[in-house]
Amino acid sequence: MANLFDDFNPISSKQWKQKIQFELDGADYNETVIWNSPEDIQVKPFYHRDEFTKSASVTTKTSDFKICQNIFVHDIEKSVKRAINTLQRGAESLRFTIQNENIDVTSLLKNLPLENKIVYFNLSFLSIDFVKKLDQISIEKKAVFFCCLDPIGHLAKEGNWFLTSDKNNFETIEKISKETTNLSLLSIDSGLYQNSGANITQQIAYSLAHANEYLNRFQNFTKPMVFQIAVGTNYFFEIAKLRALRMLFKLIAAEYNPDLDCHFLVTPTKRNKTIYDYNVNMLRTTTECMSAILGGADAVANLPYDSLYHKDNEFGDRIARNQLLVLKHESYFDKVDNPADGSYYIESLTMQLAEKSLTLFKDIESNGGFLKLLNDGTIKKKIQESANKEQELFDSKKEILLGTNKYPNNEDKMKHDLELFPFVKIKPRKTLITPIIEKRLAEKLEQERLELE
């Protein structure tokens, strides 16, 4: 069969550019159709194969991505009921957040159908006995448990290490590793950097440098390291972010253990979410979940549209879960592995982000490593600088959040709807370092509107 394209002459990138310049009718090409991202990446109006040099060597198993349900554990009976209900209604994995080590984890998990299920545990404490129980239950249940221990992330977010009887948190984790056999123990809270306002290059580099602190200390660990990542609204950049992070982790981890893998648990960011015109949050989280899946997330835990101001509720959970179910079963997002391969734009973004992030990572390492820069305040300072730039764009309406700083519905009243405090919480306490603070772009504007209600 003849190739239908044989009748058409190929068009070079130079010819396309000339055509665009003609159509611009004298306007400057670079100023009109090329824009600069916060990561200092110049985004062109088109990408062509004759300018394509190298594709990213990253493999994503999009067909295997799991729909994850977040469950905050306070009342065990309610948590069990909720877990069973969500698993019956489409959730494929669970993430339990447990703040109290006196929670009876055996009762929590005893009646759950967890065979071959992936379960994540975010613990607000470091307890050898508690993790040993999880290890035993994972063996009995034939489940895959990720015990997301991240003392460096805890230090960054809370300003203090976990309280333990050992010399330091790393010693406690070393003991846990010797007394457990079936758990993946280490996690990186990458979402902290995104939700605090870091640009994408910083998010990747800080996550890698954060992980490298663990790789240096625990070189005998063989289970995958979990990255808990937040994705924003910059659709193609977020796809490229996940691909670049996976590619660079493989590169760095190979220096310690060529077989060490990473596991991405991804959720939409809180940074661009709003309490006013809250239904728009559903649109934001849908595109963010799409970026997560196409970028190669192993699991996606969606953010309910009302999570900022409502306590966990069945309706918000169901809508968030159904967004992912629609993407998987009606939009067929799980049918193709490596879906971003061959896109000149995404490949170009991936390589540029990887190069810039690797440069920043090397700079961090040459200046003493992530922990040193975290302790002396450098990491917080750099994130704050990026956050301030983005806040200025939002305040000047160059970065738009519909319903908040553009086209607001002035009839929208929220004061009597707030079950949760949706702003930065001030917790006076003595800390070793100044914590990295997560803050949404719309907070100041929302507080001003609430005062006028």
DSSP per-residue string spanning 328-359: HHTS-TTS-SSTTTT-HHHHHHHHHHHHHHHH
* pLDDT of amino acid 438: 97
pLDDT band at 177 (very low <50, low <70, confident <90, very high): very high
Q: Judge whether 113 and 139 are in contact, CB under 8 Å.
A: no
Angle between helices 314-329 and 76-88 (to 10 degrees): 30
Query: What pLDDT, in 10s, does the model give residues 24-58?
Result: 988 999 999 999 999 999 999 999 988 887 777 88
Report residue 272's pLDDT band, with 50, 70 and 90 as the boundaries: very high
CA distance 417 to 25: 52
State how far the Cα of 305 lies from the Cα of 316, in Å rounded to an integer.
7
Taking alpha carbons only, the member of 69, 115, 254, 130 closest to residue 149 is: 130
Residue-level pLDDT at 59: 84
Tell me the whole-structure pTM to 2 decimals: 0.95
Q: Which of the 8 DSSP states describes residue 419?
A: S
Q: Is the pLDDT of residue 258 over 60?
A: yes
> What DSSP state is assigned to residue 96?
E
Over 60: is that where the pLDDT of 447 sits? yes
Find the mean pLDDT for residues 220-249: 96
Higher-pLDDT residue of 428, 261: 261
Residues 58 and 243: beta-carbon distance below 8 Å: yes
- The per-residue pLDDT of the chain, averaged, comes to 95
Contact indicator for 94, 117 with CB cutoff of 8 Å: yes
Mean pLDDT within 86-95: 97
288-293 mean pLDDT: 98
Tens-digit pLDDT profile for residues 364-412: 999 999 999 999 999 999 999 999 999 999 999 999 999 999 999 989 9
pLDDT, tens digit, for every residue of 137-174?
Answer: 999 999 999 999 999 999 999 999 999 999 999 999 99
Residues 6+ apart with CB under 8 A from 136: none
Residue with tokens 């239908």: 4
Alpha-carbon span 261 to 78, nearest angstrom? 35
> Residue 395 and residue 445: Cα distance in Å, rounded?
9
In degrees, rounded to 5, the angle at the alpha carbon of residue 205 between the alpha carbons of residues 223 and 166 is 50
The string over 354-393, giving b where at least 16 C-beta atoms fall within 10 Å of a residue's C-beta and e elsewhere, is bebbbebbeebbeeeebbebbeeeebbebbbebbeebbee
pLDDT band at residue 4 using 50, 70 and 90 as cut-offs: confident
Six-digit token pair at 135? 């290890």
> Please, what sign has the CA dihedral across residues 415, 417, 419, 424?
negative
Biggest CA pair distance of the chain: 76
Indicate the pLDDT class of residue 2, thresholds 50, 70 and 90: low
Q: What pLDDT score does 6 carry?
A: 76
Closest CA to 72 of 253, 357, 307, 328: 307
Worst-scoring range by mean pLDDT, 16-25, 68-77, 179-188, 351-360? Answer: 16-25
Task: Render pLDDT for 331-348 as a digit per residue (tens, 0 to 9).
Answer: 999 998 989 888 999 999
Report the 10 Å Cβ neighbour count for 129: 9
* Contact by Cβ (8 Å): 205, 199: no
Do strands 42-43 and 144-149 pair parallel, antiparallel, or not at all (unpaired)? unpaired
Q: What is the pLDDT at residue 58?
A: 85
Is residue 1 predicted with pLDDT exceeding 60? no
- What is the percent of the chain where pLDDT is above 70? 100
